[in-house]
Amino acid sequence: MNNMQRAKNLFKQAMCPGLKAISLSLLLASACAVHMQASTVFDVSGTYQDGATLSGTINIDTVGNAGVTSANLALISGGTTYDLELGAEQTFFPAAEYWQVAVTSSAGYPKAYLGIFLGNSTNLDGYTGGSLCSDTFDSQHNPQLCLGNESNLFFLGNPSLINSDLVSGSLSLPAANAAPEPAALSLFFTGLCAAVVLGVRRNAKNGSGLLGGDAQGNAPV
């Protein structure tokens, strides 16, 4: 019996019912970790009519239908940078097929409303990125998507006064999001290693070595 065959036999021995249950639990936990990773990070980019630019990230619950969960954005206008965070307002407009979310500075203004176009979806579950409602996006389609509603930017304390419309903008997944979650990989390999390690201990108690020798180190027949 060669070493490769002995290793295969060891793995088979390790996968006894009890160890199978442990390994399966850990592997299932890794699957749950991916599923429970509800908050997905998206890169935000946008340009307004007055030349202001928007960049940064927002987190969206793409599993539990909780909408946008946080925002870390930078608005640059007239040489000044404003930090914007998630506001209290989120609304779905079914007729126009977009999800509107407010982001605002700690002082309350400037304040921006972002229209996240969803198409045929009614929520952000499964969202993978796309266009923000804007002048350019609307003009590319007939009839207009978002029903002609653009993402707006306010600088004054009067929300009825629109200071600037979004010319173009989008949400996109960072390249890093395409890689498997480190926590999920860790759980997967933990489950695999647990089966092997416990199998080795079981063999040791039974008087056999890693490659099938006895407790005295004699080679297998």
Indicate the domain borders of the chain. Answer: 3-36+181-205, 39-177
> Residue 51 region, left (φ>0) first, then alpha (ψ -120 to 50), else beta?
left
pLDDT of residue 65: 83
192 CA to centre of own chain: 25
The partner residues of 53 in beta bridges, in order of sequence, read: 47, 76
Per-residue DSSP letter, 135:
H
What predicted TM-score, i.e. pTM, was given to this entire model? 0.64
- Weakly modelled stretches of the chain, pLDDT under 50: 23-24, 26-36, 179-185, 187, 209-213, 215, 217, 219-221
Token pair in block for residue 63: 């599993």
Backbone angles phi, psi at 161, to 5 degrees: -100, 110
The partner residues of 76 in beta bridges, in order of sequence, read: 53, 81
- 101, 113 Cβ separation under 8 angstroms: yes
pLDDT of residue 149: 86
- CA separation for the pair 201, 216 (Å, rounded): 16
> Residue 64 region, left (φ>0) first, then alpha (ψ -120 to 50), else beta?
alpha
Backbone angles phi, psi at 105, to 5 degrees: -80, 165
- CA separation for the pair 39, 216 (Å, rounded): 55
**Pairing mode, if any, of strands 130-131 and 39-48?**
unpaired
- 120, 129 Cβ separation under 8 angstroms: no
Q: Which amino acid, 15?
A: M
- CA separation for the pair 211, 121 (Å, rounded): 56
Q: Which amino acid, 102?
A: A
Measuring CA to CA, how many Å separate 90 from each of 31, 66, 95, 217?
30, 10, 16, 69
